[in-house]
Structure 1
Amino acid sequence: MTIHTPLNEDNARPAGAGANDAASNDHVASYKADLSINFAGIRSPNPFWLASAPPTDKAYNVVRAFEAGWGGVVWKTLGEDPAAVNVSSRYSAHYGPNGEVSGFNNIELITDRSLEINLREITQVKKDWPDRALIVSLMVPCEEEAWKTILPQVEATGCDGIELNFGCPHGMPERGMGAAVGQVPEYVEKVTRWCKTYSSLPVIVKLTPNITDVRLPAQAALRGGADAVSLINTINSITHLDLDRMVAHPVVGGRSTHGGYCGSAVKPIALNMVSEIARTPETANLPISGIGGISNWEDAAEFIALGAGSVQVCTAAMLHGFRIVEEMKDGLGRWMDSKGYQKIDDFTRAAIPNTTDWKHLDMNYQVIARIDQDKCIGCGRCYIACEDTSHQAIMHLAKDNGTARYEVKDADCVGCNLCEITCPVDNCITMEEQDTGKPYMNWMEDPRNPHRAA
């Protein structure tokens, strides 16, 4: 099959050209760091993959992504025929105060294209782009025969691995798939074991965040033989309502439903869940593909430092296009050079030793706020926040010229960081460490803890 696609944006080479054409643009890299990865046996020229979603729905999209420099893609979730049927409309968003999209919601299902067409296109794309990671996302009924049937067909495409979609929170759980499987560790373990039985490909289990403890399905996936996990999938959500019509968005014929929430707003949740798996002894060595609100190289570096071996991007690409990967690669490479990191593995999980449970934090550690008077613009936001909602630790002083001066009352400051967070001027308020003269003492040792260790 021939896939007809246009030339890339600079007309440097024909679409569909492979690794020998320096398709990843590494020949013009402004950094020395090696961004290539080997994730659970899957090689990729860089850690930036497109997540299973609309951007990876067809060959045309995937080829354009590879032309732009993405290291890999997870093809949009395949299922049994007949293909799923989607509704209109499908997306909504949560906006920040300046109108930017901070969270993105969708009620789209898995691929609505036939299995035969998808498999044919995957085969051709992998043939044309042998240096890129191409993982196929799968979702079929929780029946052994269904998995036994589809897995050989997928493996025949020459793809590099499979990702089990156990996270979709809408539409598919009503059919006994997606999050309906991912929320039950026993199901996760069972289906993972089927996949390892009927396929020789690396198996990545995509976990749902719509669960009390994400470590449990991760451990179940490992027991089933999973080669890696990816997380997070989208979070159940309703972004906002039309208060005139009394219906949530997106609106489908006057009604709506909950959908999957993603975008920068979910990043803190995703980082925590990734770190929980990475720092739990049972799963400490389990490869993790990090997903959730990754919009730039710094986001990616944070996920990697907390345990991810690759990162997957969706919303940022949907909002800004595939070329964002150029800045992601360049920024990550330059930062790695500045830190002396030669390869991704040099800082993978580097932040895990410093991530712990609250009970192990030092109760004798103390910081207090410092206001740089040369940078202060006198807006008073720190004072209002502290006076109304915190510890009344900032003084409002009148200056001779009628303006205000704000100073911290050291004795009352508990180092909560609220003033630093509310301040609109970078580095105007900083938190200064205090020498308490006291040794490390955690809560389990603290005499104020009635349940402390003897």
Structure 2
Amino acid sequence: MADLSIEFCGIKSVNPFWLASAPPTDKAYNVVRAFEAGWGGVVWKTLGEDPAAVNVSSRYSALYGKNREVIGFNNIELITDRSLEINLQEITQVKQDWPDRVIIVSLMLPCEEKLWADILPLVEATGADGIELNFGCPHGMPERGMGAAVGQVPEYVEMVTRWCKTHSKLPVIVKLTPNITDVRAPARAAKAGGADAVSLINTINSITHLDLDQMVAYPVVGGASTHGGYCGTAVKPIALNMVAEIARDPATAGLPISGIGGIGNWRDAAEFMALGSGCVQVCTAAMLHGFRIVEEMKDGLSRWMDQKGYTRVSDFVGKAVPNTTDWKYLNMNYQVIAQINQDDCIKCGRCYVACEDTSHQSISQLIDAAGVRTYEVIKDECVGCNLCEITCPVQGCITMVPQHTGKPYMNWTQDPRNPRAERPAVAESV
């Protein structure tokens, strides 16, 4: 059976599944229940200076799919609204009671070195395994010069990270904001400041939807609203991309990554790990479905690893990174063509409508004398865009079949159709 234990920037964990800094990790009661359910670690909800932050009511909103499935989740909640003293006491007790589980303490303070120097010894005294610097919160705290206001300025990221490495012996994980043009810049700054790891992504600035009768966005607070932090299933593609960008950046290569963003099952976790995450953090899925989702995550990941022959998580961490590249290096001579399995086709015509109206008109609709419709791919017109496969409601009915072109690998930098293509050197005549 696969071994799910990991070591992340020197911290040993019984499994790679941690709860992210959020409401589920706000107090000892929650964290103990999480550990009882089987989570390998938690990032305690962000601590700050006293007096504690004050939250509003209400705090959450959502973007729904069919049958009220929550696709995206939005929150305007701030960091912990409990005193620093109470949080530190609870962290100390939980760590004593659960020595084999990881407790990372999330911190957010103004950019004043003394404030960081004062709080770090208090956190160390709890027995916590590490600290996470919250440089990502997009609402409420940036107005106070914290959260994303720090994470969006690489110089600040490097400066505060260095303070923490100077005044603490604990591993330092820097949590990055996605509300930035290029996530590699703060990641490089974190590494320059001595960070032991980075975690990402934090939540994305968002407004989910409006009450069109009252003309106010959700969540509504006394007739008004504000932007919040977006998370949940919908942010996973964005998070995967940002994790991959850091994992394949030569300047941050080898920097441990804790992946966050839309992780709700073992497959999501495996994808983050394949793109370089040594562990993963979960929040929204636990809030929507409870702590016991970790049972399926552990079981599913273990079974998949056994099937693939991976004995440890580290066997496949980063395995997809070498296959992730810039567009210009993709093979221009590679070609696929759609193929419709007529035995599985339910004759709905969705592939035909999508291709005919918005793509390349490469699917024909044939109607026989009895009025029976058949859909066939016009191979000479198909560009292999995948739209028909995506719109088809029957999984596996339409597949993209690689074609043998007989042409060698050629990327865009070499393509003669590119006006800036690299030309082979021409020998001088003698």
Q: TM-score range by the shorter chain?
A: over 0.9
Cα offset, 1:105, TM superposition: 0.1
1:288 and 2:261 are equivalent in the alignment = no
Q: 1:242 is matched with which residue?
A: 211
Q: How far apart, CA to CA, are the structure 2 residues paired with 1:313 and 1:403?
A: 49
Instruction: Report the AA paired with residue 285 of structure 2.
Output: A
Q: 2:98 is matched with which residue?
A: 129
| TM-score for the superposition, normalised by structure 1 | 0.93
Q: 2:11 is matched with which residue?
A: 42
Q: Deviations 1:235-272 (Å, cap 9, x if unpaired)?
A: 00000000000000000000000000000000000000
Q: 2:266 is matched with which residue?
A: 297
Q: How far apart, CA to CA, are the structure 2 residues paired with 1:401 and 1:127?
A: 76
Q: How far apart, CA to CA, are the structure 1 residues paired with 2:292 and 2:207?
A: 30
Q: 2:373 is matched with which residue?
A: 404
Instruction: Report the AA paired with residue 115 of structure 1.
Output: L
Matches within 5 A, 1:143-162: 143-162=112-131
Q: How far apart, CA to CA, are the structure 2 residues paired with 1:309 and 1:98?
A: 34
Q: 1:452 is matched with which residue?
A: 421
Q: 1:423 is matched with which residue?
A: 392
What percent identity do the matched residue pairs reach?
Answer: 81
Q: Deviations 1:327-357 (Å, cap 9, x if unpaired)?
A: 0000000000000000000000000010000
Q: 1:20 is matched with which residue?
A: none
Cα offset, 1:98, TM superposition: 3.0
Q: Deviations 1:401-451 (Å, cap 9, x if unpaired)?
A: 322100000000000000000000010000000001100000000000001
Cα offset, 1:96, TM superposition: 1.0
Q: How far apart, CA to CA, are the structure 1 residues paired with 2:402 and 2:229?
A: 41
Q: 1:166 is matched with which residue?
A: 135
1:216 and 2:185 are equivalent in the alignment = yes
Cα offset, 1:99, TM superposition: 1.7
Runs of 5+ consecutive residues of structure 2 not aligned to the other structure: 424-430
Q: Secondary structure at the match of 1:145?
A: helix
1:92 and 2:61 are equivalent in the alignment = yes
Q: 1:340 is matched with which residue?
A: 309
Q: How far apart, CA to CA, are the structure 1 residues paired with 2:124 and 2:422?
A: 54
| TM-score for the superposition, normalised by structure 2 | 0.98
Q: Deviations 1:114-143 (Å, cap 9, x if unpaired)?
A: 000000000000000000010000001111
Cα offset, 1:146, TM superposition: 0.6
1:278 and 2:227 are equivalent in the alignment = no
Q: Of 51, 54, 76, which residue of structure 1 is paired with 2:45?
A: 76
Q: Deviations 1:63-85 (Å, cap 9, x if unpaired)?
A: 00000000000000000000000
Cα offset, 1:399, TM superposition: 2.9
Q: How far apart, CA to CA, are the structure 2 residues paired with 1:201 and 1:276?
A: 26
Q: 1:106 is matched with which residue?
A: 75
Q: 2:297 is matched with which residue?
A: 328
Cα offset, 1:317, TM superposition: 0.2
Cα offset, 1:282, TM superposition: 1.1
Pairs aligned (count): 423
Q: Of 362, 374, 388, which residue of structure 1 is paired with 2:357?
A: 388
Q: How far apart, CA to CA, are the structure 1 residues paired with 2:92 and 2:68?
A: 41
1:204 and 2:173 are equivalent in the alignment = yes
1:376 and 2:333 are equivalent in the alignment = no
Structure 1 segments of 4+ aligned residues over 4 angstroms from their partners: none
Q: 1:6 is matched with which residue?
A: none
Cα offset, 1:97, TM superposition: 2.6
Q: How far apart, CA to CA, are the structure 2 residues paired with 1:225 and 1:430?
A: 47
Instruction: Report the AA paired with residue 195 of structure 2.
Output: A
